[in-house]
Amino acid sequence: MLYSIEKFSKARLLVVGDVMLDRYWFGDAQRISPEAPVPVVLVGKTEERMGGAANVAINARSLGAQVCLLGVVGKDEPGNTLRTLLEQSGVTAKLLEDPACPTTVKLRVIARQQQMLRIDFEDKPTEEHLSMTMELFRQELEKHDLVVFSDYGKGGLENISEMIQCCARAGKTTLVDPKGDDYERYRGATLLTPNRAEFRQVMGSWKSEQQLAEKAQSLREQLDVSALLITRSEEGMSLFTAEGEWHVKADAREVFDVSGAGDTVIATLACALAAACTLPEAMHLANKAAGVVVGKLGTAVVLPTELLQSAPVS
Protein backbone atom coordinates (compact mmCIF):
# COMPACT_ATOMS: atom_id res chain seq x y z
CA MET A 1 0.00 0.00 0.00
CA LEU A 2 3.04 2.27 0.31
CA TYR A 3 2.94 3.49 -3.30
CA SER A 4 -0.77 4.28 -3.10
CA ILE A 5 -0.36 6.33 0.07
CA GLU A 6 2.45 8.31 -1.54
CA LYS A 7 0.10 9.13 -4.44
CA PHE A 8 -2.44 10.74 -2.09
CA SER A 9 -0.68 14.08 -2.61
CA LYS A 10 -1.88 14.17 -6.22
CA ALA A 11 -5.54 13.73 -5.31
CA ARG A 12 -7.79 16.77 -5.84
CA LEU A 13 -10.87 16.42 -3.66
CA LEU A 14 -13.98 18.58 -3.37
CA VAL A 15 -15.75 18.16 -0.01
CA VAL A 16 -19.31 19.48 0.23
CA GLY A 17 -21.66 19.39 3.19
CA ASP A 18 -22.55 20.45 6.70
CA VAL A 19 -19.67 22.41 8.21
CA MET A 20 -19.48 22.74 11.97
CA LEU A 21 -17.23 23.78 14.83
CA ASP A 22 -16.52 21.36 17.67
CA ARG A 23 -15.76 23.08 20.96
CA TYR A 24 -14.38 21.29 24.00
CA TRP A 25 -14.35 22.59 27.56
CA PHE A 26 -12.13 20.47 29.80
CA GLY A 27 -12.28 20.71 33.56
CA ASP A 28 -12.66 18.98 36.88
CA ALA A 29 -15.89 18.03 38.62
CA GLN A 30 -15.51 17.60 42.37
CA ARG A 31 -18.80 18.85 43.73
CA ILE A 32 -22.54 18.93 43.07
CA SER A 33 -24.30 22.22 42.39
CA PRO A 34 -26.43 23.55 45.27
CA GLU A 35 -28.91 24.79 42.64
CA ALA A 36 -29.68 21.42 41.05
CA PRO A 37 -28.42 17.80 41.30
CA VAL A 38 -25.78 18.27 38.60
CA PRO A 39 -21.98 18.31 38.76
CA VAL A 40 -20.14 21.63 38.74
CA VAL A 41 -17.33 21.60 36.16
CA LEU A 42 -14.49 24.02 36.74
CA VAL A 43 -13.16 24.62 33.22
CA GLY A 44 -9.39 24.66 32.98
CA LYS A 45 -8.77 24.28 29.25
CA THR A 46 -10.66 24.83 25.99
CA GLU A 47 -10.10 23.49 22.48
CA GLU A 48 -11.67 24.19 19.11
CA ARG A 49 -11.69 21.69 16.27
CA MET A 50 -13.31 21.39 12.87
CA GLY A 51 -16.32 19.09 12.66
CA GLY A 52 -18.69 17.62 10.09
CA ALA A 53 -17.61 18.24 6.50
CA ALA A 54 -14.71 20.34 7.80
CA ASN A 55 -13.39 17.29 9.66
CA VAL A 56 -13.61 15.24 6.46
CA ALA A 57 -11.64 17.95 4.66
CA ILE A 58 -8.82 18.15 7.21
CA ASN A 59 -8.58 14.37 7.40
CA ALA A 60 -8.06 14.20 3.65
CA ARG A 61 -5.62 17.12 3.82
CA SER A 62 -3.65 15.47 6.64
CA LEU A 63 -3.21 12.43 4.38
CA GLY A 64 -1.70 14.70 1.73
CA ALA A 65 -4.59 15.40 -0.64
CA GLN A 66 -5.36 18.80 -2.16
CA VAL A 67 -8.75 19.69 -0.70
CA CYS A 68 -11.41 22.32 -1.34
CA LEU A 69 -14.29 22.59 1.16
CA LEU A 70 -17.65 24.02 0.15
CA GLY A 71 -20.34 24.88 2.72
CA VAL A 72 -22.34 27.52 4.57
CA VAL A 73 -21.49 29.19 7.88
CA GLY A 74 -22.99 32.06 9.81
CA LYS A 75 -21.70 35.60 9.82
CA ASP A 76 -20.39 35.12 13.34
CA GLU A 77 -17.39 34.35 15.52
CA PRO A 78 -17.58 30.52 15.12
CA GLY A 79 -17.64 30.97 11.35
CA ASN A 80 -14.53 33.15 11.50
CA THR A 81 -12.85 30.59 13.76
CA LEU A 82 -13.57 27.84 11.23
CA ARG A 83 -12.05 29.90 8.43
CA THR A 84 -8.89 30.44 10.47
CA LEU A 85 -8.56 26.77 11.40
CA LEU A 86 -9.11 25.66 7.81
CA GLU A 87 -6.54 28.15 6.52
CA GLN A 88 -4.02 26.89 9.07
CA SER A 89 -4.66 23.29 8.00
CA GLY A 90 -4.07 23.99 4.32
CA VAL A 91 -7.65 23.38 3.15
CA THR A 92 -9.04 25.78 0.54
CA ALA A 93 -12.27 27.02 2.16
CA LYS A 94 -15.17 28.22 0.00
CA LEU A 95 -17.53 29.08 2.84
CA LEU A 96 -20.58 31.20 2.14
CA GLU A 97 -21.74 33.47 4.97
CA ASP A 98 -25.44 33.34 5.79
CA PRO A 99 -26.36 36.15 8.24
CA ALA A 100 -29.70 34.44 8.98
CA CYS A 101 -28.14 31.10 9.94
CA PRO A 102 -25.69 30.66 12.82
CA THR A 103 -22.64 28.48 12.33
CA THR A 104 -23.34 24.97 13.62
CA VAL A 105 -21.50 24.47 16.92
CA LYS A 106 -21.27 21.40 19.13
CA LEU A 107 -20.04 22.33 22.59
CA ARG A 108 -18.85 19.41 24.74
CA VAL A 109 -18.08 19.69 28.45
CA ILE A 110 -15.59 17.03 29.57
CA ALA A 111 -14.41 16.18 33.08
CA ARG A 112 -12.08 13.31 34.00
CA GLN A 113 -12.07 12.17 30.37
CA GLN A 114 -15.85 11.74 30.36
CA GLN A 115 -18.32 13.84 28.41
CA MET A 116 -20.68 15.46 30.92
CA LEU A 117 -22.81 17.50 28.51
CA ARG A 118 -23.17 18.50 24.86
CA ILE A 119 -24.87 21.72 23.73
CA ASP A 120 -25.75 22.26 20.05
CA PHE A 121 -26.29 25.54 18.20
CA GLU A 122 -27.70 25.13 14.68
CA ASP A 123 -30.22 26.19 12.05
CA LYS A 124 -30.75 25.47 8.33
CA PRO A 125 -29.24 27.73 5.65
CA THR A 126 -31.62 29.97 3.70
CA GLU A 127 -32.78 29.07 0.19
CA GLU A 128 -30.76 31.98 -1.18
CA HIS A 129 -27.51 30.59 0.19
CA LEU A 130 -28.33 27.04 -0.87
CA SER A 131 -28.75 28.35 -4.43
CA MET A 132 -25.44 30.17 -4.14
CA THR A 133 -23.82 26.96 -2.93
CA MET A 134 -25.17 25.11 -5.96
CA GLU A 135 -23.73 27.69 -8.34
CA LEU A 136 -20.34 27.60 -6.61
CA PHE A 137 -20.42 23.79 -6.75
CA ARG A 138 -20.83 23.89 -10.53
CA GLN A 139 -17.87 26.24 -10.80
CA GLU A 140 -15.58 24.05 -8.68
CA LEU A 141 -16.59 20.61 -9.98
CA GLU A 142 -14.34 20.46 -13.04
CA LYS A 143 -11.26 21.37 -10.98
CA HIS A 144 -11.43 18.21 -8.88
CA ASP A 145 -11.04 14.45 -9.37
CA LEU A 146 -13.55 13.24 -6.81
CA VAL A 147 -16.40 14.67 -4.70
CA VAL A 148 -17.23 13.80 -1.10
CA PHE A 149 -20.65 14.70 0.31
CA SER A 150 -20.75 14.87 4.11
CA ASP A 151 -24.39 14.90 5.20
CA TYR A 152 -25.05 15.60 8.88
CA GLY A 153 -28.69 16.50 8.36
CA LYS A 154 -28.14 20.21 9.06
CA GLY A 155 -29.63 21.38 5.75
CA GLY A 156 -26.47 22.15 3.82
CA LEU A 157 -27.10 19.41 1.25
CA GLU A 158 -30.70 20.13 0.28
CA ASN A 159 -29.59 20.08 -3.38
CA ILE A 160 -27.53 16.89 -3.19
CA SER A 161 -29.63 15.03 -5.80
CA GLU A 162 -28.90 17.73 -8.38
CA MET A 163 -25.24 17.79 -7.33
CA ILE A 164 -24.88 14.03 -7.82
CA GLN A 165 -26.46 14.35 -11.28
CA CYS A 166 -23.93 17.07 -12.16
CA CYS A 167 -21.12 14.75 -11.04
CA ALA A 168 -22.48 11.89 -13.14
CA ARG A 169 -22.61 14.07 -16.25
CA ALA A 170 -19.04 15.19 -15.59
CA GLY A 171 -17.81 11.63 -14.98
CA LYS A 172 -16.79 12.35 -11.38
CA THR A 173 -16.66 9.73 -8.63
CA THR A 174 -18.99 10.62 -5.74
CA LEU A 175 -18.78 9.40 -2.15
CA VAL A 176 -21.65 10.05 0.28
CA ASP A 177 -21.72 9.79 4.07
CA PRO A 178 -25.54 9.60 4.44
CA LYS A 179 -27.96 10.70 7.13
CA GLY A 180 -31.64 10.07 7.85
CA ASP A 181 -33.94 7.55 6.18
CA ASP A 182 -34.43 9.19 2.75
CA TYR A 183 -31.69 7.56 0.70
CA GLU A 184 -33.49 8.26 -2.57
CA ARG A 185 -31.79 11.65 -2.58
CA TYR A 186 -28.43 9.86 -2.98
CA ARG A 187 -29.51 7.99 -6.14
CA GLY A 188 -26.71 7.53 -8.66
CA ALA A 189 -23.78 8.14 -6.29
CA THR A 190 -20.70 5.98 -6.67
CA LEU A 191 -20.36 4.90 -3.04
CA LEU A 192 -22.48 5.25 0.12
CA THR A 193 -20.90 4.76 3.55
CA PRO A 194 -23.64 4.31 6.18
CA ASN A 195 -22.72 3.00 9.60
CA ARG A 196 -24.46 -0.02 11.06
CA ALA A 197 -27.18 1.96 12.86
CA GLU A 198 -27.87 4.17 9.82
CA PHE A 199 -28.21 1.13 7.55
CA ARG A 200 -30.56 -0.55 10.03
CA GLN A 201 -32.70 2.60 10.13
CA VAL A 202 -33.26 2.35 6.36
CA MET A 203 -33.37 -1.41 5.75
CA GLY A 204 -34.34 -2.93 9.10
CA SER A 205 -32.45 -5.44 11.22
CA TRP A 206 -30.88 -8.70 10.03
CA LYS A 207 -30.27 -12.09 11.65
CA SER A 208 -27.41 -13.40 9.54
CA GLU A 209 -24.58 -12.28 7.30
CA GLN A 210 -26.50 -13.62 4.30
CA GLN A 211 -29.52 -11.52 5.20
CA LEU A 212 -27.30 -8.45 5.62
CA ALA A 213 -25.80 -9.04 2.18
CA GLU A 214 -29.24 -9.42 0.61
CA LYS A 215 -30.45 -6.17 2.16
CA ALA A 216 -27.26 -4.34 1.18
CA GLN A 217 -27.35 -5.49 -2.44
CA SER A 218 -31.07 -4.71 -2.63
CA LEU A 219 -30.48 -1.12 -1.45
CA ARG A 220 -27.50 -0.71 -3.78
CA GLU A 221 -29.54 -1.82 -6.77
CA GLN A 222 -32.60 0.23 -5.82
CA LEU A 223 -30.51 3.41 -5.65
CA ASP A 224 -28.33 2.62 -8.68
CA VAL A 225 -25.13 3.13 -6.69
CA SER A 226 -21.94 1.30 -7.62
CA ALA A 227 -20.97 0.32 -4.09
CA LEU A 228 -22.20 0.28 -0.52
CA LEU A 229 -19.74 0.22 2.38
CA ILE A 230 -21.21 -0.41 5.83
CA THR A 231 -19.04 0.48 8.82
CA ARG A 232 -19.89 -1.97 11.59
CA SER A 233 -17.96 -0.74 14.64
CA GLU A 234 -16.33 -3.72 16.40
CA GLU A 235 -17.45 -5.98 13.50
CA GLY A 236 -15.29 -4.14 11.00
CA MET A 237 -16.50 -3.11 7.53
CA SER A 238 -18.45 -4.75 4.72
CA LEU A 239 -18.29 -3.70 1.07
CA PHE A 240 -20.95 -4.66 -1.47
CA THR A 241 -20.74 -4.16 -5.25
CA ALA A 242 -22.19 -5.84 -8.34
CA GLU A 243 -19.03 -7.99 -8.44
CA GLY A 244 -19.46 -9.35 -4.92
CA GLU A 245 -18.71 -8.55 -1.30
CA TRP A 246 -15.66 -8.04 0.89
CA HIS A 247 -15.27 -7.89 4.66
CA VAL A 248 -12.50 -6.71 6.97
CA LYS A 249 -12.29 -7.16 10.71
CA ALA A 250 -11.98 -4.10 12.92
CA ASP A 251 -8.40 -3.08 13.58
CA ALA A 252 -7.97 -4.12 17.24
CA ARG A 253 -7.25 -0.98 19.26
CA GLU A 254 -8.17 0.56 22.57
CA VAL A 255 -11.24 2.64 21.71
CA PHE A 256 -11.06 6.03 23.37
CA ASP A 257 -13.54 8.06 21.30
CA VAL A 258 -15.47 7.22 18.12
CA SER A 259 -16.34 10.88 17.40
CA GLY A 260 -15.57 11.68 13.77
CA ALA A 261 -14.46 8.14 12.88
CA GLY A 262 -16.89 8.11 9.93
CA ASP A 263 -15.28 11.33 8.67
CA THR A 264 -11.87 9.67 8.75
CA VAL A 265 -13.21 6.62 6.92
CA ILE A 266 -14.73 8.52 4.00
CA ALA A 267 -11.74 10.87 3.75
CA THR A 268 -9.36 7.90 3.52
CA LEU A 269 -11.59 6.17 0.98
CA ALA A 270 -11.60 9.33 -1.14
CA CYS A 271 -7.82 9.67 -1.06
CA ALA A 272 -7.32 6.00 -1.88
CA LEU A 273 -9.78 5.95 -4.78
CA ALA A 274 -8.30 9.16 -6.20
CA ALA A 275 -4.90 7.42 -6.00
CA ALA A 276 -6.25 4.57 -8.18
CA CYS A 277 -6.74 2.01 -5.42
CA THR A 278 -9.44 -0.59 -5.92
CA LEU A 279 -12.49 -0.42 -3.66
CA PRO A 280 -11.32 -3.37 -1.50
CA GLU A 281 -7.88 -1.78 -1.15
CA ALA A 282 -9.47 1.55 -0.23
CA MET A 283 -11.65 -0.17 2.39
CA HIS A 284 -8.58 -1.83 3.89
CA LEU A 285 -6.81 1.53 4.28
CA ALA A 286 -9.96 3.19 5.66
CA ASN A 287 -10.30 0.43 8.25
CA LYS A 288 -6.71 1.00 9.36
CA ALA A 289 -7.28 4.75 9.57
CA ALA A 290 -10.41 4.24 11.68
CA GLY A 291 -8.42 2.03 14.04
CA VAL A 292 -5.95 4.87 14.55
CA VAL A 293 -8.43 7.71 15.03
CA VAL A 294 -10.67 6.00 17.61
CA GLY A 295 -7.66 5.95 19.92
CA LYS A 296 -7.70 9.76 20.02
CA LEU A 297 -10.01 12.15 21.87
CA GLY A 298 -12.75 13.87 19.87
CA THR A 299 -12.62 14.73 16.20
CA ALA A 300 -9.06 14.03 15.10
CA VAL A 301 -6.98 13.25 12.01
CA VAL A 302 -4.74 10.43 10.86
CA LEU A 303 -1.26 11.20 9.55
CA PRO A 304 0.36 9.33 6.64
CA THR A 305 3.04 8.01 9.00
CA GLU A 306 0.36 6.52 11.28
CA LEU A 307 -1.38 4.92 8.32
CA LEU A 308 1.91 3.52 7.02
CA GLN A 309 2.68 2.03 10.41
CA SER A 310 -0.66 0.23 10.54
CA ALA A 311 -0.97 -0.76 6.86
CA PRO A 312 1.29 -3.42 5.31
CA VAL A 313 3.58 -2.34 2.50
CA SER A 314 2.80 -4.04 -0.82
- Cβ atoms of residues 39 and 29 within 8 Å: yes
Q: Which of 18, 22, 98, 263 is catalytic?
A: 263
How many residues in total does the chain contain?
Answer: 314
Strand order in 19-32's β-sheet?
39-52, 19-32, 104-111, 114-121
Q: Is beta strand 114-121 parallel, antiparallel or unpaired with respect to 66-74? A: unpaired
Bridge partners (DSSP) listed for residue 45: 26
The alpha carbon torsion through 183, 185, 190, 193 (nearest 10 deg) reads -40
The residue type found at 144 is: H
- Cβ atoms of residues 21 and 48 within 8 Å: yes
* DSSP character string of 138-187: HHHHTT-SEEEEE--SSSTTTTHHHHHHHHHHHT-EEEEE--SS-GGGGT
Angle in degrees, 0-180, between the axes of helices 279-293 and 261-274, rounded to the nearest 10:
150
| Angstrom distance (rounded) from CA 149 to CA 14 | 9
Q: Is 18 a catalytic residue?
A: no
Neighbours of 289 (CB within 10 A): 28
52 Cβ contact partners less than 8 Å away, ≥ 6 residues apart: 17, 18, 19, 20, 104, 150, 152, 154, 263
List, by residue number, the catalytic residues: 263
